[in-house]
């Protein structure tokens, strides 16, 4: 099974500053036949279901603000929020869908 490990577990960032969340997979999630990384990022606010932010590691879902971006390939991935807004306070999860499906443990993002 592919294990997804996020870092840090929690993060406090000032409004307007950059927030960076990392996700590492125990094996590559890059599928050679289509050159796609089978990696998504979700945002979950308290009392709400998860919301898809990024898929194929770097494709932003429709309607997601462009301050959210995803990068990385193979086993190492990053979710970046370029300028933190108050409404971005949430828990963020990465998920691999290369081999079955696995989520990272989540990263709690707060305002400093």
Partner 1 sequence: EVQLVESGGGLVQPGGSLRLSCAASGFTFSSHWMHWVRQAPGKGLVWVSCINSDGSSTSYADSVKGRFTISTDNAKNTLYLQMNSLRTEDTAVYYCARGGIYSGSHSDYWGQGTLVTVSS
First-residue to last-residue Cα distance in the chain: 36
Select from 21, 30, 40, 84 the one that contacts partner 1 (CB under 8 A): 40
Distance between CA atoms of residues 15 and 88, nearest Å: 10
Q: What is the dihedral of CA 81, 37, 93, 89, to 10 degrees?
A: 10
Quick check: 2 binds partner 1 (CB under 8 A)? Answer: no
Applying CB under 8 A, does 44 fall inside the site for partner 1?
yes
Shortest CB 14 distance to partner 1, Å: 26
24 lies in the site for partner 1, by CB under 8 A:
no
Token pair belonging to 53: 């932010």
Binding site for partner 1 (CB under 8 A): 31, 38, 40, 42, 44, 48-52, 55-56, 61, 91, 93, 95, 97-98, 100-106
């Amino acid at each position: 099974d592919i294990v997804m490990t996020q870092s840090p577990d929690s993060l406090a960032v000032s409004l307007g500053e950059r927030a960076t969340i990392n996700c590492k997979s125990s094996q590559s999630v890059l599928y050679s036949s289509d050159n796609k990384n089978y990696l998504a990022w979700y945002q979950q606010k308290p009392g709400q279901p998860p919301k898809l932010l990024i898929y194929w590691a770097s494709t932003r879902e429709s309607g997601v603000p462009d301050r959210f971006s995803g990068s990385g390939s193979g086993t190492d991935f990053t979710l970046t929020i370029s300028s933190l807004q108050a409404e971005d306070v949430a828990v963020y999860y990465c998920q691999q869908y290369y081999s079955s499906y696995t989520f990272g443990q989540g990263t709690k993002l707060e305002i400093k």
